[in-house]
Structure 1
Amino acid sequence: MTTPATFQFVSAQTANRLVAGIPAIARLALAYDQACPGAPLVLALGDRGALDPFSRAEIMRLAPGLKVQVEREAQGLVIPAETLPDAATIAGLLAGAAPVPPPPADPQTELAAAARAIIRATAKPGDGIVARRINRPISQAVSALLLRLAWVRPGHATALTALVALAMIACLLTGTTDGLVAGAVLFQLASIADGIDGEIARATFRTSASGAAWDSGVDAATNLGFLAGVIANLWLRGATDTAIIGLAGLGILAFGTGLLGLYARARGEPLNFDGAKALLGERESALKRWLRYLTMRDFYCLFLALMIAAGQVAAALAIFALAAAGWLATVIVLLWRARA
């Protein structure tokens, strides 16, 4: 048996406040709809204000069919809405199995803390070493800033990554040493920016197959465009021997990417540059795990950027070509086993 309850915000301002891109009231509505499907959500706004149009639209998107009643006075069990309880907590509160939390001393601070927790949770368990230690903290900080804007969507972040990639290619095609270094730095920045669209999508419940496909396409263009741009830069400067080494690595990467693309298409999944990770599944040993980390996109982006910025482009491309050959051999073996 559940107790009639009212979720009370101290004001319409806190109810409408964006919490990682979604109004606080919409996050509460989603959790309530999951805990009590079909039951109306009873609200009270301390200042007797009103929900704004964006909040109502987000409630419709996240909890379609949920009826929201805004009362002038709180009645029955009064639950501080700024605590943003999840579905399990709401069920426990209404069943009397959990104590009602006290109202937060500072509702705005409470909601800000909730936003930070939501953005932290957008990290992926399969992140590589560089992504976890360097890329993700930076991309999440950018995502936190962007999610203060109600109109921001994952596609905007994908477009940002594409713009960084275009700037990278433009620098590389100058055919100068400075352009090569600038392109390498932008390649790493593109690797960091690549995480933003997924973080925004997960934080705002906007993940989609089409979004993942666009993200994968931009990733493919960025990776192959960087190598092609480096090769073109070297060729324009007369370093043909080094360019040929890079061309070999590019060919290996393109062939392996094509194989992974065919595998992903057959399974109805988006292309993933860390696709060997999915093929390994739970069978990998500690050694295989470290080898996987060293061949993941986040690692080789930083490795190439640092090596090229340090003037070691020939060594970087030689190491990359050898690593790509090993990666391709692994992909072929794993794909063959997956068919068996």
Structure 2
Amino acid sequence: MQCEKPVFGHGRPLLLFRDADSAGRPIAGVAAAARAAAVLVEDGAREIWIALEKGGQLSDATIDDLRRACPDTGFRYGGGEGVPAIRGEEIIPPGSDSAAARQVLRETAKESDGIVSKYLNRPLSRALSALFLQIPGFRPVHATFGTAILGIAMAIALLTGGKGGLILGGLLFHAASVFDGVDGEVARATYRSSARGALLDTIVDMMTNFLFYVGITFSLTRIYGSSQAMVGGWAVAAGLTGMLILGWIVRQVGEPGNFDLLKRFYRDRYTTGFPRLIVDAVVMITSRDFFAFGSAVLIVTGHPKLVTLGLALFASLWVVLILIALPHMMRRAGAGHLAGAPQLP
């Protein structure tokens, strides 16, 4: 629920706004009428009448938002006789647009968010999303390209700088991890989630991770010697192997771009007790948000060698977990038991 849900249930309500400007005022990038209609749909509405007290017509942008927010709902315009009316302001009170926008963005968090994402990354990315959603025409793909730019800047810092470049690269890796949440938040807040967007987001994530693996290996080898090339090479090889195998799996099961599939498998398999605690711990320490933050902290505090060692160990563990799950996931996929559409981070 993205706005305050009214105590109201009717299959064909009348949604009443003062005028077209009131109905079309943007709340987190979506017209108020669309937000209100989405609440009524969750409350059981199947067809919604929309009327403007002062007359006039809804803008094309408002109509587009209505159709995107409620794709399976019929809309009729004007005052339907005998149709119970509810004011849009009762769902989204006037003067509370900022509060409503903050609520919308709070509800874009994902259940799979780790501890770093939940308490550090999401508050930061939601603040950025709130700013970007005030820009007319801002779309999730713009945020995805922003993450890609941060990843490229990170790689340049690691490949061309000395110790200063190493520190900057570590901070940019964490910044990319934070910014990576914006495209998903914008997509979910504006009803623009799509499989294509999820796939593009995953490609950018994998590119950023791989560039970090290669960049930090190159940087540490230049600073500390050839021994780091061996450890970093191990990390790069294991990480690339895991990406290729998991990429093949998600294509086979028909969920391209959904790299949360492995987490979901283990969480579905071990639901309670000590095994579930182990699964949750492994998911947490191997998640990108945790590792990006940890890498930045280790680099800034003068322990960068632990980063490549951790990368090598975690990437190897990741490959092992993928190989263990592989036959089970393929059998379940063949039986049609793997469900769930991909979502942006």
CA deviation vs aligned residue, 1:224-274 (integer Å, no higher than 9, x gap): 001111122233446221132111111111111111111101011134454
1:242 matched residue in structure 2: 228
The reply on whether 1:316 has 2:307 as its aligned counterpart is yes
CA, structure 1 residues 19+312, in 2 after alignment: closer, same or farther (shift >3 Å)? same
The reply on whether 1:261 has 2:252 as its aligned counterpart is no
The question of whether the paired residues in 1 share the 8 Å contact of 2:28 and 2:130 is answered with: yes
CA deviation vs aligned residue, 1:187-239 (integer Å, no higher than 9, x gap): 00100111111111111111111111100100000000011111222334462
TM-score normalized by structure 2? Answer: 0.82
For 1:54, which of 58, 61, 75 is the aligned residue?
Answer: 61
Q: CA deviation at 1:3?
A: 9.8
1:336 matched residue in structure 2: 327
Query: What amino acid sits opposite 1:312 in the alignment?
Result: H
The reply on whether 1:326 has 2:317 as its aligned counterpart is yes
CA distance in 2, matches of 1:170, 1:2: 58
CA deviation vs aligned residue, 1:60-97 (integer Å, no higher than 9, x gap): 444568444246xx997442212338xxxxxxxxxxxx
2:5 matched residue in structure 1: none
For 2:264, which of 278, 284, 293 is the aligned residue?
Answer: 278
Percent identical across equivalent pairs?
A: 34
CA, structure 1 residues 241+273, in 2 after alignment: closer, same or farther (shift >3 Å)? farther
CA, structure 1 residues 223+43, in 2 after alignment: closer, same or farther (shift >3 Å)? same
The reply on whether 1:214 has 2:221 as its aligned counterpart is no
What residue ranges of structure 1 are gaps of 5+ in the alignment? Answer: 86-103
For 2:238, which of 252, 257, 268 is the aligned residue?
Answer: 252
Report the aligned-residue RMSD: 2.7
Q: CA deviation at 1:336?
A: 3.4
CA distance in 2, matches of 1:60, 1:290: 41
Q: CA deviation at 1:32?
A: 4.8
2:122 matched residue in structure 1: 136
The question of whether the paired residues in 2 share the 8 Å contact of 1:143 and 1:200 is answered with: yes
The question of whether the paired residues in 1 share the 8 Å contact of 2:10 and 2:45 is answered with: no
Aligned runs of 1:74-89 on 2, under 5 Å?
77-84=84-91
The question of whether the paired residues in 1 share the 8 Å contact of 2:199 and 2:258 is answered with: no
Aligned runs of 1:28-177 on 2, under 5 Å?
28-32=36-40, 35-37=44-46, 39=47, 41-45=49-53, 48=55, 50-63=57-70, 66-70=74-78, 77-84=84-91, 104=93, 107-109=94-96, 111-177=97-163
1:90 matched residue in structure 2: none
The question of whether the paired residues in 1 share the 8 Å contact of 2:217 and 2:308 is answered with: no
The question of whether the paired residues in 1 share the 8 Å contact of 2:187 and 2:193 is answered with: yes
Query: What amino acid sits opposite 1:226 in the alignment?
Result: F
The question of whether the paired residues in 2 share the 8 Å contact of 1:216 and 1:272 is answered with: yes
CA distance in 1, matches of 2:257, 2:48: 42
2:28 matched residue in structure 1: 20
The question of whether the paired residues in 2 share the 8 Å contact of 1:249 and 1:321 is answered with: yes
Give the 3-state SS of the residue equivalent to 1:173 in structure 2. helix
- The number of aligned residues is 316
TM-score normalized by structure 1? Answer: 0.83
Q: Of the two, which has the highest radius of gyration?
A: 1
For 1:298, which of 289, 303, 306 is the aligned residue?
Answer: 289
The question of whether the paired residues in 2 share the 8 Å contact of 1:7 and 1:42 is answered with: yes
The question of whether the paired residues in 1 share the 8 Å contact of 2:23 and 2:31 is answered with: yes
Give the 3-state SS of the residue equivalent to 2:160 in structure 1. coil
Q: CA deviation at 1:299?
A: 0.9
The question of whether the paired residues in 2 share the 8 Å contact of 1:5 and 1:75 is answered with: no
The question of whether the paired residues in 2 share the 8 Å contact of 1:14 and 1:108 is answered with: no
CA, structure 1 residues 243+275, in 2 after alignment: closer, same or farther (shift >3 Å)? farther
The question of whether the paired residues in 2 share the 8 Å contact of 1:175 and 1:237 is answered with: no
